[in-house]
Amino acid sequence: MDLNAQLADLAQEESTESKESRMARLETQMASTPPSIERAELQLDYGTLLLDFQRKEDAWEAAKEAFHIFIAAERWELAVTAADIMVSADQKESLTALAHGIWIGITYPINPETTVAILQHLIDESPVGSDTAAVAAVTSHFIADKRSAKGQPGEGIRFFSSQRLAEVAAQHRNIKSQEEFDIWMAGNEFDNPDSFLPKLSAAVDALADGNWWIDRTALRAALPV
């Protein structure tokens, strides 16, 4: 084995050992922490590590418990992060978790990077070239644009979402030029949130299939006017 290969193996061993140590530390901390925001935050780190070790069912359980704690405490961004872990865990109700993550990420003015990240799952889960993928990409860029200030750190997420939108447009209608893109946007009313957001809502409802873990009516009623 050459030196580079030996170094690569050593780095992998150190990385694995570090993750295992972190997991043990988190398990100790969680065992001594009662249900709370603090414990739920530990569970997010724990769930992410469990995914690294392919312990997907355990990751789901950790994230699901944290999700409900965050919802009760109105910690919306952390709830979306928990939903993201549940989606990545690839369990029976992962699409239901995706519906919740998108609904919360759109409804509340959280960090645009978090909302854009959860919407990427919908793009990836939708058939290539589908209307759902297009609506998700359009919404992702809309959120990135509205919640980020030019020249600020959010500029990067706007660039990412615009690139992803261009990719989806090419898959949706073989868009190759800026002129074709502009026509595609206008023709599908993708430049009008009053048109594309209801389409996203319908897609999210289809994902949840009536299995909502939250009272959306009550949450809407509590929103500022």
Contacts of 44 (CB under 8 A, 6+ apart): 62, 63, 66, 78, 81, 82, 85
Q: Note whether 141 and 199 are same-domain residues.
A: yes
Tell me if 222 is assigned to some domain. Answer: no
Q: Note whether 133 and 76 are same-domain residues.
A: no
pLDDT score, position 46: 96
Q: Note whether 120 and 35 are same-domain residues.
A: no
pLDDT score, position 119: 98
Gyration radius from the chain CA atoms: 20
Q: Note whether 70 and 6 are same-domain residues.
A: yes
Residues 91-122: tens digit of each pLDDT? 999 999 999 999 999 999 999 999 999 999 99
Q: Note whether 47 and 136 are same-domain residues.
A: no
Domain end: 53, 68, 94, which one? Answer: 94
Q: Note whether 68 and 117 are same-domain residues.
A: no
Residues 3-56: tens digit of each pLDDT? 556 545 545 554 556 888 888 999 999 999 999 999 999 999 999 999 999 999
What is the secondary structure of 55-115 as a DSSP string?
Answer: -HHHHHHHHHHHHHHHHHTT-HHHHHHHHHHHHHTT-TTHHHHHHHHHHHHHHS---HHHH
Residues 118-172: tens digit of each pLDDT? 999 999 999 998 999 999 999 999 999 998 765 455 578 999 999 999 999 999 9
User: In which domain, by residue range, is 22 found?
Assistant: 1-94
Domain end: 43, 67, 94, which one? Answer: 94
Tell me if 220 is assigned to some domain. Answer: no
Tell me if 106 is assigned to some domain. Answer: no
pLDDT score, position 121: 97
pLDDT score, position 225: 67
Tell me if 105 is assigned to some domain. Answer: no
Domain end: 45, 64, 94, which one? Answer: 94
Tell me if 99 is assigned to some domain. Answer: no
Pairwise CA distance, residues 125 & 127, whole Å: 7
Q: Note whether 71 and 152 are same-domain residues.
A: no
Write phi, then psi, for 192 (nearest 5 degrees): -125, 105
Tell me if 213 is assigned to some domain. Answer: no
Quickly count: other Cβ atoms within 10 Å of residue 114's Cβ: 22
Q: Note whether 76 and 119 are same-domain residues.
A: no
pLDDT score, position 204: 97
Tell me if 223 is assigned to some domain. Answer: no
C-alpha dist (Å) from residue 128 to 84, 111, 139, 185, 186: 21, 27, 17, 18, 21
Token pair, residue 58, equals 């355990």
Tell me if 164 is assigned to some domain. Answer: yes
Q: Note whether 179 and 120 are same-domain residues.
A: yes
* Counted domains in the chain: 2
Question: Do the beta carbons of residue 42 and residue 33 sit within 8 Å?
Answer: yes
Q: Note whether 123 and 201 are same-domain residues.
A: yes
The whole model's pTM is what? 0.89
